[in-house]
Amino acid sequence: MSQPYAIELKGITKAFGSVVANKNISLNVKQGEILALLGENGSGKTTLMNMLSGIYKPDSGEIFVEGKPVSINSPEDSKRLGIGMVHQHFKLVDVFSAADNIWIGREKAGLRLKKNRFALVEEMIQRFGFDLDPAKKVYNMSVSEKQTLEIIKVLSYGAKTIILDEPTAVLTVQEIDKLFGVLRRMKAEGHSIIIITHKLNEVMDISDRVAILRKGEYITTVDTRETNEQELTEWMVGRKVDLNIDRPVMEKTRPLLELRDVTIRNDEGALAIDGVNFYIRGGEILGVAGIAGCGQKELCEAIAGLRPIEKGQMIHKGDNIVGLPPKAIHEKGISMSFIPEDRLGMGLAPSLSITDNMLLKNYADTKGPFVNRKQGRADAENVIQELDVVTPSTETPVRRLSGGNVQKVLLGREIKAGPNVIVTAYPVRGLDINSSYAIYNILNRQKQAGVGILFVGEDLDVMMALCDKIMVLCHGRLMGVVHAHKTTKEELGLMMTGALDLTDKYEDKPAGIAKDTRFGEKEGEEEA
C-alpha cells in the first residue's frame, strides 16, 4: 500500500452567512512535498487552511490526517494532529520574549518557569538551523524575525505539516530566498508544506504541486514541472486574460507636483523619508516601489498634509504647499487614497452609508450647520453608475460591500472631485484580477485626462506594465527613478534592498529632479 496522504480534504464546504467561502473542496498533500495553494484573493485559500488550523469549522466534509478521519474543533486539536500554521498576521505576544512565545504552547513545560527555558529554546533554534535571540522581545523584532519566530514556534510543537499564509508578502527578495531555503530544508527533513500565495513566480520556484482555487471552488491540482505560468493563470482566473495592462502614451506636461529634499519622520520620531526628490507630470503614472515600511505611507500622508514635512519643499504648479492643512491641499486638487492592510481603516468609514462616505471630504463646503445629504446621494448614484459598483442602494453601509466595490467607491469619490494629482497607495490590494483591471482602467482614464498619478504598489509586474516611471525607495531614501518599460525586476529588487543606487546614474541630472522644473518659479517672478 502506498503512503497515506499527510492531509486529505474531502468535500469541504464553509459558508459565512449567505457567502459561501468554500464549496465542496477536495484536495490532498503528500508527505514530504511542498504544495502551493494558488488562487486570487477571496478565492477561499485562507478560509480553507483555517479549517485545518482549527480557527473555523467546516459546515460539511471530511478531513483525514495520515489516512485517519479527524475532527478539528480548535487550534489545540490541530496542534495535536501535527498541523502548524504561520498566519499572515502574526499571532505573537508583543511584550513577551521569543522564548516565552514558544513556551506558552509547550506541552510539558512544567509548573515552574525556569530560567533555562532560554537555553532550551536557543538550542532548538540552532537545531532547526535558524538565528534568533531567544531573549529578544517581539516588539523589538523586524518583520522577518517575527516570521522566523512563527516558523520556529510551529516546528517546536512537532508539526509535521506546516501551512504558511502568504509568507512572502512582507519580505524582501533576499529574505524570500532565505525563507525558501528553509522550506526546502524542512521538506528534506520530511515535513509536508502548504504555502498559500498568489504570486506565480514563487509557485514555480518552490512548489512540487499546485492546487488551484477559484471563487471558493476547487479547480485542479497539477505537478509544477508540467505546467507554466500562463496555464496557472488561466486556471486561477477562469478565462484567458490579457496579461498586458494598457499604458497609453501621453504628451509630457511640465511637472505638476515636485518634492525637493523632503524629510519626514514617522510616528516613533525616526526618519521615514530622508531627503527625497521626485516629480510628477500631468498625464503620467509614477510608480513607487519598495518593501513594506520603507516610508511609502509617511510619504503619502505628508503629501496629503496629514504629516508634517520636516525639511524640504513641495511645489504644486509652482506654489510651495508645505505646511498647508489637509483641506487646503485637497482644494488645490491633490487627492490621496490609501488602502491599508485591513482595507477599511483609512479613507472610508465602514459603518456609514455610501452616501455619507461620498460626503467625507466636502461635507463642510456647504453653508449652514446641516449636512447636505441630497448632494451626497447624487454623487453616490453617479459613482455607482459610472464605476459599476454592485450595491443594493446608496444607503448601504460600505462594510457590506465586497472588496472591489469598496475600492471603487473610494476611488470614485476621489475622482469626482476632479483632482489634478492623484496619490493612490495599494488601490488593488486584495482585489481579484478583474476588479484590479477595472481600477487600472479608471487610473488610465484619469491619466489620459491629464492628471498626474503617484501609484504606490506592491506587485512589481503590475507596476512595470502600468506605470510610466518607477521610483524606488529603500529605508526612506530614494534609490533612483527608472523607466518602467526599460527596467527589469532584478534591477528593481536590487534597488529595493539598497544594493543598487541609481540616483547619480546620469552625471548631468540627479534622479528625481526635472529639467523643466517649476522650482523657484514664483520666487523668480517676484524678483523679476
Partner 1 sequence: MHIHIVKRDKLPLWKKCCFYLAAVLAALVLGGVVLLSIGVNPLEYYTRMFTMGTMGNPIAYRVFENYLKDFVPLVLTSVALSLAFKMRFWNIGGEGQFIMGAISAAFVALKLGPSLPNAVTLLLMCLAAMVVAGLYGLLVAALKVRFGTNETLLTLMLNYVALYVLIFLGETKADWNFFLREDSVRPVFASFSDWVKFPAFSLGGRFTLNICVILTVVVGLLVYLYLKKTKQGYEIAVVGDSAGTARYAGMKVNRIVLRTVFLSACLIGLAAAFKVGTAGILSTAITNDVGWTGIIVAWLAQLNTVAIFLVAALICVLHNGSVAAAATFSRVDSSFANMLQGAILFLVLAADFFIRFRVVITKKGGRDNG
Partner 2 sequence: MDKLAVLTAFLHSIVVYNIPLLYGTVGEITVEKSGSLNLGVEGIMAAGAIFGYIFGCYANSLLVGILAGFAAGALCGLLFALLTVTLQANQNITGLTLTTFGLGLYFFVGNSLKASGWPVMNDFANIKEGFADLSIPLLSDIPLLGKGLFSHNILVYLGIVIAIGMWWYLNKTSLGLRLRAVGENPAAADSVGINVNRSKYLHICLGCGIMGIGGYYMGLNMGGSFNSSCWINGYGWIAVALVIFANWNTALAIVGTFVFGFFNTLRVSGSSLAAAFPGALGWLASIPTQLYQALPFIITAIVLIITSIRNKRGSSGLPAALGLNYYREDR
Look at residue 93 and give the partner it binds from partner 2, partner 1, none, a contact being a CB closer than 5 to 8 Å depending on partner kind: partner 2
Q: Kindly calculate the radius of gyration of the chain based on its CA atoms and give it in whole angstroms.
A: 25
Q: Per CB under 8 A, does 341 bind partner 2?
A: no
Among 113, 249, 270, 364, binds partner 2 (CB under 8 A): 113
Q: Per CB under 8 A, does 350 bind partner 2?
A: no
Stretch that binds partner 1, among 16-24, 426-434, 488-496, 509-517 (CB under 8 A): 16-24
From CA 72, how far away is CA 129, in angstroms rounded?
Answer: 31
Look at residue 136 and give the partner it binds from partner 1, partner 2, none, a contact being a CB closer than 5 to 8 Å depending on partner kind: none
Q: Per CB under 8 A, does 56 bind partner 2?
A: yes
Q: Per CB under 8 A, does 65 bind partner 1?
A: yes
Among 87, 317, 377, 518, binds partner 2 (CB under 8 A): 87
Stretch that binds partner 1, among 72-80, 92-100, 142-150, 163-171 (CB under 8 A): 72-80
* Strands of 380-495, DSSP E: 421-425, 452-456, 469-474, 477-483
- How many residues sit close enough to partner 2 to count as binding (CB under 8 A)? 32
Q: How many residues does the chain have?
A: 528
From CA 80, how far away is CA 381, in angstroms rounded?
Answer: 53
- 465-498 burial, b at 16+ Cβ within 10 Å, e below that, comes to bbbbbbbbbbbbbbbbbbebeebeeebbbbbbbb
Look at residue 110 and give the partner it binds from partner 1, partner 2, none, a contact being a CB closer than 5 to 8 Å depending on partner kind: partner 2
| Sheet with 255-265, side-by-side order of all strands | 271-281, 255-265, 311-316, 319-320
Look at residue 113 and give the partner it binds from partner 1, partner 2, none, a contact being a CB closer than 5 to 8 Å depending on partner kind: partner 2
Comparison of 348 and 472: residue with beta carbon closer to partner 1: 348
Cell of 322: 508645505
Residues 77-106 that bind partner 1 (CB under 8 A): 77, 80-81
Half-sphere exposure of 152 (CA within 13 A, CB side): 28
Q: Per CB under 8 A, does 346 bind partner 1?
A: yes
Stretch that binds partner 1, among 126-134, 172-180, 241-249, 363-371 (CB under 8 A): 363-371
Interacting residues of 511 by C-beta distance below 8 A, sequence separation 6+: 277, 471, 478, 480, 481, 502, 503, 504, 505
Among 5, 103, 426, 440, binds partner 2 (CB under 8 A): 103
Q: At closest approach, how far in Å is the CB of 14 from partner 1?
A: 10
Helix (H) or strand (E) holding 299, with range, is: helix 296-303
Q: Per CB under 8 A, does 105 bind partner 2?
A: yes
Residue in 385, 390, 384, 320 with CA at minimum distance from that of residue 357 = 384
Residue in 312, 338, 333 with CA at minimum distance from that of residue 256 = 333
| Sheet with 421-425, side-by-side order of all strands | 334-338, 421-425, 452-456, 285-289, 469-474, 477-483
Q: Per CB under 8 A, does 128 bind partner 2?
A: no
Among 45, 146, 153, 330, binds partner 2 (CB under 8 A): 153
Hey, which residues does 64 pair with through a beta bridge?
8, 69
Hey, which residues does 289 pair with through a beta bridge?
472
The number of angstroms, rounded, from the C-alpha of 146 to the middle of its chain's C-alpha atoms is 17
Comparison of 109 and 349: residue with beta carbon closer to partner 2: 109
Mask 25-64, x = binds partner 1 (CB under 8 A)?
--------------------------------x-------
Q: Per CB under 8 A, does 196 bind partner 2?
A: no
**Chain positions contacting partner 2, by CB under 8 A:** 53, 55-56, 74-76, 78-80, 85, 87, 91-96, 100-101, 103-106, 109-113, 137, 139, 153, 157
**Chain positions contacting partner 1, by CB under 8 A:** 16-18, 57, 65-66, 68-73, 77, 80-81, 304-306, 325-327, 330, 336, 338, 340, 344-352, 356, 359-361, 363-364, 369-371
